[in-house]
Amino acid sequence: MSAVLVTGATGTVGSAVVQHLLERDQDVVAGVRADADAARLPDGARPRRFEFGAPTHELEAAFDGVDRLFLMRPPPVEDVATYLFPVIDAARRRGVHQIVFLSLQGVQANRRAPHHAVEAYLRQTGAPFTSLRPNFFMQNLSGTYVDQIRDHDEIFVPAGRSHTAFIDARDIGRVAATVMIEPGHVGEAYTLSGEQSLTYRQVAQTLSDVLGRTITYRRPSEQEYLARLVAEGYPADYVAVQKMLYRIVRYNVSALPNRAVRRLTGRPATTFREFAVDHRAVWER
């Protein structure tokens, strides 16, 4: 049986991809850097050493018995030509017949995003790829901003009165599994949003309802938000990315919901309330 190599297999999206592939009886090879990562994999996933930037022979060895690849850019990696392009090249040399790339909503118009360069390289080389372009993850609220919500009962991001059609990373995993199993998706690019468009005030109200205490959206200015990041010790490049992201949010670029998850998988996208109920424990204290 052919297998799928999943990069980022223990991360937010990669773990969802692994889980949905396993649920559909696929042979999953999970790329991991260390034994500790392997121990976090679900039963049925086969760990295999994989590291971006590894020598060519190690990259090619990772594709033994593999015919599909789920490729995602590690957040710290900006130099995709050095770290991701060789993985694409190795996959093509080893005869991989589909690369599913975790891209970014609106990437086609954002030349500054590393994802844009990856998509351009996939097209340039003639690689058989499918691009997934998700909106903001619901998991940002249970991960990046969990301390704000759990410890301070607030959401502190400079989104103004804008709307965002958040998507659950679990739904991205479901879509990824579908497009790797079912035919007809090579050469396609799918923008993945939730089916609701919410303001952060509405997000805070939903969290308040689920948690039984008041969560407030503080609606800081961009200057206030960036100053807090600097005071908390975040590096300049991270601060710059956050500045760009929330300007995009305030322009309502991320506001449009769609039914891509429903159309591709046959099931509706997870609502934010469903997500909040499922993850309630991370915000409780």
- Which class is 137-166+194-255+270-285 in CATH? alpha beta
What's the longest Cα–Cα distance across the chain? 55
Cα(140)–Cα(75) distance, rounded to whole angstroms? 14
pLDDT single digits (tens) 6-51: 999 999 999 999 999 999 999 999 999 988 999 999 999 999 999 9
Q: Are 17 and 5 in contact (CB under 8 A)?
A: no
Cα(273)–Cα(282) distance, rounded to whole angstroms? 15
> What percent of the chain has pLDDT above 90?
88
For position 76, what pLDDT does the model report? Answer: 83
Q: Return the structure tokens found at 262.
A: 């429903």
| Average model confidence (pLDDT) across the chain | 95
Cα(133)–Cα(223) distance, rounded to whole angstroms? 29
b/e per residue 16-46 (b: at least 16 CB within 10 A): bbbbbbbeeebbbbbbbeeeebbeebeeebe
Q: What are the Cα distances from residue 78, in Å, to 107, 135, 236, 245? A: 15, 20, 14, 16
Phi then psi dihedrals of residue 143, to 5 deg: -120, -80
Q: Please say if the pLDDT value at position 1 is more than 70.
A: no
pLDDT single digits (tens) 181-207: 999 999 999 999 999 999 999 999 999
Confidence band for 96, pLDDT divided at 50, 70 and 90: very high
Question: Which among 263, 268, 259 is positioned nearest to 170, based on CA atoms?
Answer: 268
Q: How do the domains of the chain map onto residue ranges?
A: 3-134, 137-166+194-255+270-285
The CATH T-level fold of domain 3-134 is: Rossmann fold (3.40.50)
b/e per residue 232-246 (b: at least 16 CB within 10 A): eeeeeeebebbeeeb
For position 261, what pLDDT does the model report? Answer: 98
For position 111, what pLDDT does the model report? Answer: 82
Q: Which amino acid is at 124?
A: Q
For position 174, what pLDDT does the model report? Answer: 98
Q: Are 249 and 164 in contact (CB under 8 A)?
A: yes
Among 130-134, 165-169, 213-217, 251-255, which is the least confidently predicted range? 251-255
DSSP line for the chain: --EEEETTTTSHHHHHHHHHHHHTT-EEEEEESSHHHHTTSPTT-EEEE--TT--HHHHHHTTTTEEEEEEE--TT---HHHHTHHHHHHHHHTT--EEEEE--TTGGG-TTSHHHHHHHHHHHHT--EEEEEE--BTHHHHTTTHHHHHHHSEE----TT-EE--B-HHHHHHHHHHHHHSSS-TT-EEEE--S--EEHHHHHHHHHHHHTS--EE----HHHHHHHHHHTT--HHHHHHHHHHHHHHHTTTT-----HHHHHHSSPPPPHHHHHHHTHHHH--
